[in-house]
């Protein structure tokens, strides 16, 4: 018997998965894995597609699969860990700012 997926409830699962993602994508500049999220930063569309092909190739070689409806490719701005990230930089999301402003 051999598992094809890591079972739920295994306490070290997140750390194992993060380690796998980091090793897979370590040498691709501008690619940041964070558990099951991967941010790919590029200064041009050509650079983005080159990096995206490299990431997808690594995933395919490792036997990892993506869900199309969870992928956001070529977007100018992304919300990630409570921050908005875009070409202008990184800023807190409006909901985070609202919570701070309305704090007692």
Residue ranges covered by each domain of the chain: 1-73, 76-103
- What tens digit of pLDDT does each residue of 10-62 get? 788 888 889 999 999 999 999 999 988 999 988 899 999 999 999 999 999 99
Please report, for residues 15, 31, 93, the alpha-carbon distance to residue 84 in angstroms, rounded to integers and kept in the order given. 25, 17, 6
Question: For the segment 76-89, what is each residue's pLDDT rounded down to a tens digit?
Answer: 899 998 899 988 99
Report how far residue 100's alpha carbon sits from residue 78's, in angstroms, rounded to the nearest whole number: 21
Alpha-helix runs per DSSP H in the chain? 13-25, 45-62, 94-101
Side-chain half-sphere CA neighbours of 53 within 13 A: 5
C-alpha of 50 from chain center = 17
């Amino acid at each position: 018997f051999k598992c094809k997926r890591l079972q739920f409830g295994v306490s070290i699962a997140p750390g194992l998965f993060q380690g796998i993602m980091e090793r897979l994508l370590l040498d691709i500049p501008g690619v940041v894995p964070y558990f099951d999220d991967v941010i790919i930063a590029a200064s041009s569309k050509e650079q983005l597609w080159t990096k995206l092909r490299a990431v997808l190739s690594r995933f395919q070689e490792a036997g990892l699969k993506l869900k199309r409806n969870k992928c956001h490719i070529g977007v100018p701005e992304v919300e990630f860990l409570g921050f908005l990230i875009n070409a202008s930089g990184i800023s807190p999301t409006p909901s985070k700012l609202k919570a701070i402003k309305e704090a007692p």
